[in-house]
Homo-oligomer: A and B are copies of this chain.
Amino acid sequence: MSGMHQLPHADVVHLADIAPRRTIFTLWERHRHRQAHWFIECAAETMGVFFYVYFGVGAIAGFNIGGLTGQAINSLETVGFGFAFGIMLALVVCSATSGGHFNPAMTITMVIFKGFPPIKAARYIVAQILGAYLAALLVYAQYHQTIHTLQAELIAKGTFAAVNYTPQGLAGIFACYAPAGAHLGLAFLNEFVCDFMIGLVIWACIDPTNFLSPPAAAPWIISLTYAVCVWGFALNGISTNAARDLGTRFAVLTIWGSDASGGAYAAIAALTNIPATICGVLFYEFILLDSSRVITPIHVSHLNAHLSHQEHCQHGTKPVRHDEETGKTHQSSYDDDSKAQIETFERTSKNGAQIQTIERA
């Protein structure tokens, strides 16, 4: 066993060990693990994108309503913070369950770089778009009165058709539109660079060697990247996320019909983030990623937790492991002769990365 590396691990305690649940919940959890896990992961993805779009679009609602009524209700700063903290909440609440993609570009990137299964990716993307769609419809419902009143005023003034499907319009609360007269090539550039930066940041945050991005810091770092993109570049039109864009596009089509389609810009808003994210990730993979760096202590705990979680899901109880040095018997996630091995199973970690199985002695 000399020459092999062991991922240091402490004894782990599962939530089931200290907080056992009523039988109804235990049976439901077993059913979830065995048959319905796909549903749970998709529900988490939907809820995550819902968090992000619900609070971001809510902030835009105040911003646009203020603009249309001559009041200063929210500012672009508030909109940036609204999207940012919505994303932070999505990651904190839902990423442990689904891997925290919340973004078709990230899911596609995981397929390309981490072997995420394509069929699962397709389900994830549908779930993500659904989350954005539901969020937009709900915000519309909550603001229904105000929107209805303002729409009547715009129609009375005769400016409805000119204003509504712009970033400042009522449909512009929900979906992404290009500023009036925008050059589509520059809109593409605006979108591409921002999404490149976001992809690069996300990949840096999930690097387990990054001492400046422990797991608990990643939601804040990633989310404020969206904020600075809004503050710096939303003026030129920006979507950053295909699910946020397509989901809200379907919502405005549902509410206002085909006039809300956004024209050719809609393709830029929906799709640019995919190649841009991949390019940002490639930059990290080629220039910044360094396999000689060391996994930080908290990332070691985090990875161990995933391994143990996987085992517990599969086996219910943990197999007994004999520690050859001390003679102690522990229940652990490792088979008993595996002390000196690295066993990493094909699994979904926090951001959907998969760590391939490597040799087992």
Interface on A for B, CB 8 Å cutoff?
2-3, 5-8, 10-21, 25-26, 28-29, 33, 40, 43-44, 47, 51, 54-55, 57-59, 61-62, 65, 72-78, 80-82, 85-86, 88-89, 91-97, 138-139, 141-146, 181-183, 186, 189-190, 193, 197, 200-201, 204-205, 207-219, 221, 224-225, 227-229, 231-233, 235-236, 283-298, 300-305, 308-309, 312-313, 317, 320, 325, 328-329, 331, 342, 344, 350, 355-356, 358
Q: A214 with B213: in contact, given A13-B294, A18-B342, A232-B82 (CB under 8 Å)?
A: no
Residues of B within 8 A of A286 (CB): 25, 28
Task: Evaluate contact between A186 and B142: CB separation under 8 angstroms.
Answer: yes
How far, in angstroms, from A218 to B26 measured CA to CA in the complex? 27
How far, in angstroms, from A77 to B301 measured CA to CA in the complex? 37
* From A25, A295, A303, residue with most partner B Cβ within 10 Å: A295
Provide a sorted-by-A list of 18 A–B residue pairs whose CB atoms are within 8 angstroms: A2-B320, A6-B13, A13-B342, A18-B344, A19-B344, A19-B355, A25-B285, A54-B197, A58-B231, A62-B231, A81-B231, A93-B204, A96-B210, A96-B212, A97-B288, A209-B305, A211-B302, A325-B328
Task: Evaluate contact between A89 and B228: CB separation under 8 angstroms.
Answer: yes
Q: A2 with B329: in contact, given A13-B295, A211-B216 (CB under 8 Å)?
A: yes
How far, in angstroms, from A179 to B28 measured CA to CA in the complex? 43
Residues of B within 8 A of A325 (CB): 328
| 6 closest Cβ pairs, A-B complex | A58-B232, A16-B291, A292-B312, A55-B228, A294-B305, A93-B204
Q: A233 with B18: in contact, given A95-B212, A217-B216 (CB under 8 Å)?
A: no
* From A28, A44, A214, residue with most partner B Cβ within 10 Å: A214
Residues of B within 8 A of A355 (CB): 18-19
Residues of B within 8 A of A59 (CB): 228, 231-232
Residues of B within 8 A of A309 (CB): 290, 292-294
Task: Evaluate contact between A15 and B295: CB separation under 8 angstroms.
Answer: yes
* From A228, A233, A236, A285, residue with most partner B Cβ within 10 Å: A228
Residues of B within 8 A of A57 (CB): 232
Task: Evaluate contact between B76 and A62: CB separation under 8 angstroms.
Answer: yes
Task: Evaluate contact between B13 and A5: CB separation under 8 angstroms.
Answer: yes
Task: Evaluate contact between A15 and B209: CB separation under 8 angstroms.
Answer: yes
Task: Evaluate contact between A7 and B18: CB separation under 8 angstroms.
Answer: yes
Integer count of this chain's copies in the complex: 4
A8-B10, A14-B295, A78-B80 given; 16 more Cβ-contact pairs under 8 Å: A15-B289, A15-B295, A18-B208, A47-B283, A58-B233, A59-B228, A72-B72, A73-B235, A85-B224, A93-B200, A96-B209, A292-B309, A292-B313, A293-B309, A296-B301, A325-B328
CB closest residue in chain B, given A234: B62
Task: Evaluate contact between A232 and B55: CB separation under 8 angstroms.
Answer: yes
* From A16, A182, A224, residue with most partner B Cβ within 10 Å: A224
Task: Evaluate contact between A291 and B19: CB separation under 8 angstroms.
Answer: yes
* From A6, A92, A207, residue with most partner B Cβ within 10 Å: A92
How far, in angstroms, from A232 to B29 measured CA to CA in the complex? 34
Task: Evaluate contact between A93 and B145: CB separation under 8 angstroms.
Answer: no
Partner of A294, one of B26, B44, B183, B308: B308
Residues of B within 8 A of A305 (CB): 209, 211, 293-294, 296
How far, in angstroms, from A24 to B26 measured CA to CA in the complex? 46
Q: A5 with B201: in contact, given A228-B59, A232-B59 (CB under 8 Å)?
A: no
